[in-house]
Amino acid sequence: MALGRHVDVDKLIGECKDHRAFKHSHDSLELVDIPYASRYDNQQEVPRFRLPQDGVGADVVYQILHDELMLDGNPNMNLASFVHTWVPPQCEKLMMENLNKNLVDQDEYPAAQDIHDRCISMISHLWHSPAGSSIGTATTGSSEAIMLGGLALKKKWQERMKAAGKDIHNPGPNIVMGAEAQVALEKFARYFEVEGRLVPVTKESNYVMDPKKAIQCVDENTIGIFVILGSTYTGVFENVQEMSDLLDDYEKKTGISIPIHVDAASGGFVAPFAYPDYVWDFTIPRVHSINASGHKYGLSTVGVGWIIWRTPDHLPKELIFELHYLGETDYSFNLNFSRPAHPILSQMFNFLNLGFEGYRRVNLNDLAKARILSRALEGTGYFSILSNVHVPKPVAERGNFGDGDAEYYHEGLPVVSFRFTDDFKKQNPNLQQSWIQSQLRYYGWIVPNYPLPPACDDTEILRVVIRESFSGDLLRKLVEDIMSTVENLLKDQGPSFSMSHGAGNGKVKDKHAKWDSKKIKDNHKTHSKVC
Ligand SMILES: *Cc1c(COP(=O)(O)O)cnc(C)c1O
């Protein structure tokens, strides 16, 4: 069989089998071999795409799935994700003990519910809610939290418009956000039929929304502005204070008051600890709600996000449901009914275990590593850096901070976004930046290469997210591997077969060939457009 021709591996392997089942069953093409077949007393093959007629012993099933999951990347070398992958063993133990608890059963598990409520209280205080302990809920992540935050804005806008005797259907509501918005924000717009107005980003705006441009996109049908504390591209914070000031001016001129929801998915657990004096949260009266991901810099395991409203009055009553359960009344305002309690326990574990100072240490450490990595990459001469947590602020804004303090530099997430320098690209026009991604994958690293948001999307960036588990040793090894990757590419210049083949391997396979991807693409334009 010649390499390079399209080969259906399942079919090929099916044809190569001498198993009896192959002759008797159409399912045979879907069979996996039994691993450890002679060790376990199990001679049955297991279908991959259909429910097996008879079950398979628990030991065998464990072994099959355990081995298959080893094919997943090593979480510690996945530098693409903001989602944290490590908690202390005591936290794991606590979660295991409570794996079977459903948070919705508030009467059955009042202690878990109480811990949830205390998390809300701790976070409200952290974000300076004027009510002290305010109202909010755990969610599965920031995405669910953003749906709820957006819905609250939409309901409140409807109330305002109805009270003023105005039409809520024509032209209908809109929401303004930077073009670098994470997909959840655009999903909100599309799912809940709000026109998404994307404010174009530029190099000059540091690839995040410029409030001065955003203000030009608002009108009386604007339900709110999503302000993003920590771009997923570069980690740069959008300026909540400036956005709020401009909306104050707008209100003075027009009488229209437009609220802010802060998407602080990552920044919500970075800014309060790394930059305690930085103003972005409920300290600003126009900030009505904030979301964050507990599983990002909240340092919990995957499965927990938070949304907090400024005061209970900022949560529209239509979003609240009364649940009657075992004779008691509870209130619910999230999208899920059942949900595991253990991610919330992992959140509380971290709150109690680390305290403010612990979170601050973790954050400062992450940021210090981001600075080292940025300088090292810049120092190679091959790369320029687009993130800015290593760039000193103007002298007047540095206060008494020294170059060992995070506050000496621009505020942002511990993220390093980089690209080939213009000089390097000119000298090596055939060398594709995406090859770095695929070559690093051979060392085990996952470092994504992808285009910047619309209008800047002719520029591609490589991005490293620094998390707690990224040790100094790993950092040294990463720099070494990036260096040898570039040097090997330089030696092997040009799109040689092996290189272009390698680059192809780095691309995501189209898993959804059965969907009409053109229709899906066209659909993208229905609810979000550049304003
Ligand atoms: C990760 C992220 C989200 C989505 O959060 P999940 O917790 O993954 O659902 C939304 N906005 C921003 C800015 C993010 O970084």
Q: State if residue 135 touches ligand 1 by the CB under 6 angstroms criterion.
A: no
Q: Is 182 in the pocket of ligand 1 (CB under 6 A)?
A: yes
Calculate the average pLDDT of the chain. 89
Cα–Cα distance for residue pair 97/104, rounded to 1 Å: 18
Query: Has residue 487 been placed in a domain?
Result: yes
Residue 180 falls inside a structural domain: no
Percentage of the chain surpassing pLDDT 70?
Answer: 86
Please report, for residues 14, 149, 282, 312, the alpha-carbon distance to residue 316 in angstroms, rounded to integers and kept in the order given. 58, 10, 18, 8
Predicted confidence at residue 36, as pLDDT, reads 60
Whether 287 maps to a domain, the answer reads: no
Greater pLDDT, 60 or 411: 411
Q: What local confidence, expressed as pLDDT, does residue 220 receive?
A: 97
Domain boundary among 69, 84, 118: 69
Quote the CA–CA distance of 291 and 181 in Å, as a whole number. Answer: 14
Backbone angles phi, psi at 439, to 5 degrees: -70, -40
Residue type, 438: S
Instruction: Provide the pLDDT confidence category of residue 2 given band limits of 50, 70 and 90.
Output: very low
Is 38 inside any structural domain? Answer: yes
What confidence score (pLDDT) does residue 504 get?
Answer: 44
Residue 229 CA: nearest ligand 1 atom is 13
How far is C-alpha 235 from the geometric centre of its chain's CA atoms?
Answer: 11
pLDDT number for residue 329: 77
HEC string for 125-176: HHCCCCCCCCEEEEECCHHHHHHHHHHHHHHHHHHHHHHCCCCCCCCCCEEE
Task: Tell me the CA–centroid distance for residue 75 and ligand 1, in Å.
Answer: 18
Residues spanned by the domain of 62: 9-69
Q: Which range, 15-24, 65-74, 281-290, 447-456, is most confident?
A: 281-290
82 lines ligand 1 (CB under 6 A): yes
Q: Is 232 in the pocket of ligand 1 (CB under 6 A)?
A: yes
* pLDDT number for residue 434: 95
Query: Ligand 1 centroid vs 1 CA: distance in angstroms?
Result: 45
Measured from the Cα of 143, ligand 1's closest atom is: 9
Of the candidates 301, 299, 259, which has an alpha carbon nearest to the alpha carbon of residue 282? 259
Domain edge (last residue) among 20, 51, 69: 69
Q: Does a structural domain hold residue 242?
A: no
Report the C-alpha gap between 421 and 405 in whole angstroms: 28
Q: How many C-beta neighbours within 10 Å does residue 458 have?
A: 7
pLDDT digits (tens, 9 = 90+) for 108-117: 888 999 999 9
CB of 227 shorter than 6 A to ligand 1: no
291 in Cβ contact with 264 (< 8 Å): yes
Q: How far is the CA of 404 from the centre of ligand 1 (A)?
A: 29
**143 touches ligand 1 (CB under 6 Å):** yes
Span from the CA of 465 to the centroid of ligand 1 (angstroms) = 13
Distance in angstroms (rounded) separating the CA atoms of residues 450 and 525: 21
Residue with tokens 């691309």: 507
Give tens-digit pLDDT for 440-449: 999 999 999 9
* CA–CA dist 461, 472 (Å, integer): 23
Maximum C-alpha span of the chain: 81
Dist. CA 200–CA 195, nearest whole Å: 15
Tell me the C-alpha to C-alpha distance, in Å, between residue 131 and each of 121, 134, 285, 309, 404.
10, 6, 12, 10, 36
Q: How far is the CA of 230 from the centre of ligand 1 (A)?
A: 10
For Cα atoms 289, 292, 294, give the angle at the middle one, nearest 5 degrees: 140
Give yes or no for residue 157 having a pLDDT over 90: yes
Ligand 1 pocket residue status of 263, Cβ below 6 Å: yes
Between 296 and 519, name the one with better pLDDT.
296
Q: Does residue 224 belong to any structural domain of this protein?
A: no
Q: What does the pLDDT read at residue 503?
A: 46
Instruction: Tell me, using a 6 A CB cutoff, whether residue 265 lines ligand 1.
Output: yes
The last residue of one of the domains, among 69, 91, 110, is: 69
- Within a domain: 395: yes
CATH number for 524: 3.90.1150.160
Backbone CA torsion sign across 421, 427, 431, 436 = negative
191 domain-assigned: no
Q: What's the gap in Å between 280 CA and the centre of ligand 1?
A: 18
Could you give phi then psi for residue 225, rounded to 5 degrees? -120, 130
Helix 472-491 and helix 434-443: axis angle, to 10°?
Answer: 120
**pLDDT computed for residue 512 by the predictor:** 56
Q: Is 413 in the pocket of ligand 1 (CB under 6 A)?
A: no
Residues 409, 374: contact at Cβ < 8 Å? no
CA of 56 to the centre of ligand 1 (A): 38
Nearest to residue 191, comparing CAs of 229, 159, 146, 136? Answer: 146
- Count of domains observed in the chain: 2
pLDDT band at 42 (very low <50, low <70, confident <90, very high): low
Task: Report d(CA 297, CA 391) in Å as an integer.
Answer: 22
Q: If you average pLDDT over residues 495-521, what whole number do you get?
A: 53
CA distance 262 to 229: 7
The answer, as to whether pTM is greater than 0.95, is: no
3-state class of 212 per DSSP? helix
